[in-house]
Structure 1
Amino acid sequence: MRLLSARIDFSDSDNPGGPRLRCAFGTPRQTLVAHGLAQVRPVLNAVQAAAAQGFWCVGYLRYEAAPAFDAALAVHAGPVADGPVAWFAVYDEALPWPRDDDASAGTAQVQWQAACPRPVFDAALERIQRAIAEGELYQVNFTAPLRGALRGGPGSDAALALFAALRRAQPGGYAAWIDTGDEQVLSVSPELFFDWRAGRILTRPMKGTAPRGTTPAEDAAQAGALRTSAKERAENVMVVDLLRNDLSRIAEPFSVRVPRLFHTEALPTVWQMTSDVEARTRAGTTLADVFAALFPCGSVTGAPKVRAMQMIRALEPQARGVYCGALGVVRPSEQGIRATFNVPIRTVTVRGAAVRCGIGSGITADAAPDAEWQEWRHKRAFVERASMPFDLLETLALEGGHLRHAAEHLQRLAGAAAHFGTPWDAAQVQHCLHQLAQAHPQGLWRVRLLLDTQGQARAEAFAMDASSPRPVRLQLADRPLMEVHGEFVRFKTTRRAHYDAFTPMQPGVFDTVLWNAEGEITECTRGNVALMIEGRWVTPPLACGLLPGVGRALALREGRLTEAVVRVEDLPLVQGWAFVNSLRGWMGAERV
Structure 2
Amino acid sequence: MHEATALIDFSDPRDDAAPRLRHAFGAPLRVLQARRLDEVPAVLHAVEQAARAGLWCVGGLRYEAAPAFDAALAVHGQPDGGAAPLAWFAIHAAPLPWPQAAAGAPQDARINWDAPLPRADFDAALARIQQGIAEGRFYQVNYTAPLAGRLSGAPQALFAALQRAQPGGYATCIDMGVVQALSVSPELFFDWRADAQGCGAILTRPMKGTAARGASAADDAAQQRQLRDSPKERAENVMIVDLLRNDLSRIAQPGSVQVPRLLHTQALPTVWQMTSDVRATTRTGTGLADVFAALFPCGSVTGAPKVEAMRAIRALEAGPRGLYCGALGVVRPDPEGGAGAIAATFNVPIRTLERQGSELRCGIGSGIVWGAQAQAEWREWAAKRAFLERASEPFELLQTLALEEGRLRHQALHLARLQRAAAHFGYPFDAQAVAGCLDRLICQHASGAWRVRLLLDAHGRPRAEAVALAATASPVLLALAERPFAAAHSEFTRHKTTRRGHYAAFAPQPGSGVFDTLLYNEAGEITETTFGNIAARLDGRWVTPPVACGLLPGVGREVLLREGRLHEAVLTLQDLPRVQGWAFVNSLRGWLAAEVQAPGVHPQARPLLI
TM range (shorter): over 0.9
State the secondary structure of the residue aligned to 1:380: helix
Partner of 1:177: 173
Residue-by-residue CA offset, 1:433-478 (whole Å, 9 max, x unaligned): 011011100000000000000000000000011x311111100000
Equivalent residues in 2 for 1:65-464 (5 A)?
Answer: 65-77=65-77, 81=81, 83-100=84-101, 106-152=107-153, 158-198=154-194, 199-334=200-335, 335=337, 336-464=341-469
Partner of 2:52: 52
| Residues 525 and 2 of structure 1: CA distance in aligned 2, closer, same or farther (over 3 Å) | closer
Runs of 4+ with deviation above 2 angstroms: 77-82, 101-105
| Residues 390 and 293 of structure 1: CA distance in aligned 2, closer, same or farther (over 3 Å) | same
Report the identity percentage: 65
* Displacement of 1:104: 7.1
Distance 1:469 1:356 in 2: 50
Please say if residues 102 and 164 of structure 1, whose CA atoms lie closer than 8 Å, have aligned partners that are also in contact: no
Please say if residues 64 and 78 of structure 2, whose CA atoms lie closer than 8 Å, have aligned partners that are also in contact: no
Distance 1:363 1:112 in 2: 25
Please say if residues 63 and 325 of structure 1, whose CA atoms lie closer than 8 Å, have aligned partners that are also in contact: yes
Please say if residues 79 and 320 of structure 2, whose CA atoms lie closer than 8 Å, have aligned partners that are also in contact: no
Distance 2:506 2:294 in 1: 53
Distance 1:245 1:3 in 2: 43
Q: Say which of 469, 492, 495 aligns to 2:473.
A: 469
TM-score, normalised relative to structure 2 = 0.95
Distance 2:386 2:403 in 1: 35
Partner of 1:155: none
Please say if residues 113 and 149 of structure 2, whose CA atoms lie closer than 8 Å, have aligned partners that are also in contact: yes
| Residues 135 and 103 of structure 1: CA distance in aligned 2, closer, same or farther (over 3 Å) | farther
* Displacement of 1:15: 1.2
Unaligned runs of 5+ in 1: 153-157
Which has the higher mean CA deviation after the structures are superposed, 213-222 or 63-72?
213-222
Which amino acid counterpart does residue 28 of structure 2 have in structure 1?
Answer: P
* Displacement of 1:508: 1.3
Distance 2:232 2:84 in 1: 37
Which amino acid counterpart does residue 285 of structure 1 have in structure 2?
Answer: T
TM-score, normalised relative to structure 1 = 0.98
Distance 2:2 2:508 in 1: 53
* Displacement of 1:65: 0.1
Residue-by-residue CA offset, 1:523-555 (whole Å, 9 max, x unaligned): 000000001111211100000000010000101
Distance 1:63 1:534 in 2: 60
Distance 1:319 1:571 in 2: 51
Please say if residues 111 and 150 of structure 1, whose CA atoms lie closer than 8 Å, have aligned partners that are also in contact: yes
Distance 1:492 1:259 in 2: 42
Please say if residues 530 and 578 of structure 1, whose CA atoms lie closer than 8 Å, have aligned partners that are also in contact: yes
Is 1:490 aligned to residue 486 of structure 2? Answer: no
Residue-by-residue CA offset, 1:113-153 (whole Å, 9 max, x unaligned): 2441100000000000011011111000000011111012x
Please say if residues 62 and 321 of structure 1, whose CA atoms lie closer than 8 Å, have aligned partners that are also in contact: yes
* Displacement of 1:79: 5.7
Distance 1:411 1:355 in 2: 37
| Residues 181 and 545 of structure 1: CA distance in aligned 2, closer, same or farther (over 3 Å) | same
Which amino acid counterpart does residue 309 of structure 2 have in structure 1?
Answer: A
Partner of 2:483: 479
| Residues 210 and 102 of structure 1: CA distance in aligned 2, closer, same or farther (over 3 Å) | farther
* Displacement of 1:105: 5.7
* Displacement of 1:569: 1.5
* Displacement of 1:180: 1.9
* Displacement of 1:182: 2.2
Please say if residues 105 and 160 of structure 1, whose CA atoms lie closer than 8 Å, have aligned partners that are also in contact: no
Partner of 2:566: 561
Which amino acid counterpart does residue 172 of structure 2 have in structure 1?
Answer: A
Which amino acid counterpart does residue 343 of structure 2 have in structure 1?
Answer: R
Please say if residues 64 and 85 of structure 1, whose CA atoms lie closer than 8 Å, have aligned partners that are also in contact: yes
Please say if residues 166 and 184 of structure 2, whose CA atoms lie closer than 8 Å, have aligned partners that are also in contact: yes
Please say if residues 451 and 469 of structure 2, whose CA atoms lie closer than 8 Å, have aligned partners that are also in contact: yes
| Residues 78 and 15 of structure 1: CA distance in aligned 2, closer, same or farther (over 3 Å) | closer
* Displacement of 1:80: 5.5
Residue-by-residue CA offset, 1:385-424 (whole Å, 9 max, x unaligned): 1000100000000000101100000000000000000001
State the secondary structure of the residue aligned to 1:208: strand
Please say if residues 540 and 563 of structure 1, whose CA atoms lie closer than 8 Å, have aligned partners that are also in contact: yes
* Displacement of 1:2: 6.5
Please say if residues 452 and 466 of structure 2, whose CA atoms lie closer than 8 Å, have aligned partners that are also in contact: yes
CA RMSD, Structure 1 to Structure 2 (Å): 1.2
Please say if residues 12 and 20 of structure 1, whose CA atoms lie closer than 8 Å, have aligned partners that are also in contact: yes
